[in-house]
Amino acid sequence: MKILIINGPNLNLLGKREPTIYGDNSFEDYYKKLEAEFSNVDFEYYQSNVEGELINKLHEVGFIYDGIIMNAGAYTHTSVGIGDAIAGIETPVIEVHISNVYAREEFRHQSLMAKNCVGVITGLGLNSYRLAILHFLSIKK
Ligand code: DQA
């Protein structure tokens, strides 16, 4: 099973960025734990702060991989292009967020990608990613 985890803008700063909201773990450390826990999964991790690069990555793997877990950060709320890219590929995408976007500013309540995703997990900290992996494993034929 091949799963790509994509993090969008500012998520490279996890651990340093607003730790009261996003926690004090870096994503790289958490990713190592995921790889150890799910040794049966072939993972790839990609992070970019650039909208077009995120779209290119969706196109690159979106007809090959079994699942994509995507935290598009602020682009979740603004990017028609990312929403369209998810609609255009075959690989199912789960939208994840570390914080509970519905408990925050109103502009974070809108997602332009959610309707093209198989599901959304928000507010469970880094565990949001882990639960998305469990979903893909549970539906694997
Ligand atoms: C986020 C929530 C977004 O609103 C925000 O812009 C982020 C992180 C989250 O994981 O909680 O960058 O996607």
- With a 6 Å cutoff on the Cβ, whether 101 touches ligand 1 is yes
Q: Are 97 and 122 in contact (CB under 8 A)?
A: yes
User: CA nearest 78: which of 52, 113, 50, 117?
Assistant: 113
- The residue nearest atom 2 of ligand 1, judged by CA position, is 73
- Specify the pLDDT at position 53: 98
Q: Per-residue pLDDT averaged across 55-70, rounded?
A: 98
Q: How many domains does the chain have?
A: 1
Q: Which residue has the tokens 């790889």?
A: 35
**Average pLDDT for the chain:** 97
- CATH, residue 93: 3.40.50.9100
Could you report the per-residue pLDDT of 78-118, keeping only the tens digit for each? 999 999 999 999 999 999 999 999 999 999 999 999 999 99
What's the pLDDT band for 4 if we cut at 50, 70, 90?
Answer: very high
Q: Which domain holds residue 46?
A: 2-139
- Specify the pLDDT at position 140: 85
- With a 6 Å cutoff on the Cβ, whether 41 touches ligand 1 is no
What is the total residue count of the chain?
141
